[in-house]
């Protein structure tokens, strides 16, 4: 019988698998767990998940959309003492990757700083006006811009 003989194990291949009478057969899950501490690529799964996680690009607003947002911010500024309730759609930059995601926040407005372009909520959270995609609220549904006298 040569080493290249493809039939050299034919006498063993069809034999029944040995089963111990003393020890119960281990489940496949438990057998796999034995080798888990020896995983060669520690952190690989986390790396794959992070790479596959999608981010969005920040939307560039048109001039008319920017003008409408500015109008809404002026209305909000005129009613700031009322601490109006608003809901914003806001771009949050991702900490690990390029891009981010748009998230929705609802809060009462405490202040607007037009020079720094910062919107401050009553809970002291700050939002850049430049990252706001949409702003809605009951007070903003007025058609009148208090600074233009429309």
**Could you tell me the residue ranges of all domains in the chain?**
63-141
Task: Give the global pTM.
Answer: 0.63
Task: Report residue 107: phi and psi, to 5°.
Answer: -165, 170
- Third-level CATH fold of 63-141: SH3 type barrels. (2.30.30)
Taking residue 107's Cβ as centre, other Cβ atoms within 10 Å add up to 19
> What pLDDT tens digit does each residue of the chain (150 aa) get?
556 888 888 888 888 888 888 888 888 888 888 777 666 677 788 888 888 888 899 999 999 999 999 999 999 999 999 999 999 999 999 998 899 999 999 999 999 998 999 999 999 999 999 999 999 999 888 656 656 654
């Amino acid at each position: 019988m040569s080493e290249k003989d493809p039939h050299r194990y034919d006498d063993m291949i069809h034999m029944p698998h040995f089963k111990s009478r003393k020890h119960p057969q281990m489940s496949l899950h438990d057998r796999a767990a034995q080798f888990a501490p020896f995983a060669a690529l520690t952190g690989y799964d986390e790396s794959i998940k992070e790479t596959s996680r999608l981010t969005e690009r920040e939307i560039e607003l048109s001039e008319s959309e920017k003008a409408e947002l500015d109008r809404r911010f002026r209305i909000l500024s005129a009613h700031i003492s009322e601490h109006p309730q608003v809901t914003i759609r806001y771009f949050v930059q991702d900490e690990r990757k390029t891009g981010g995601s748009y998230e929705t926040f609802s809060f009462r407005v405490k202040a607007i700083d037009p020079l720094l372009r910062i919107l401050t909520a009553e809970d002291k959270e700050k939002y850049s006006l430049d990252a706001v995609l949409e702003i809605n609220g009951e007070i903003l549904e007025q058609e009148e811009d208090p600074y233009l006298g429309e």
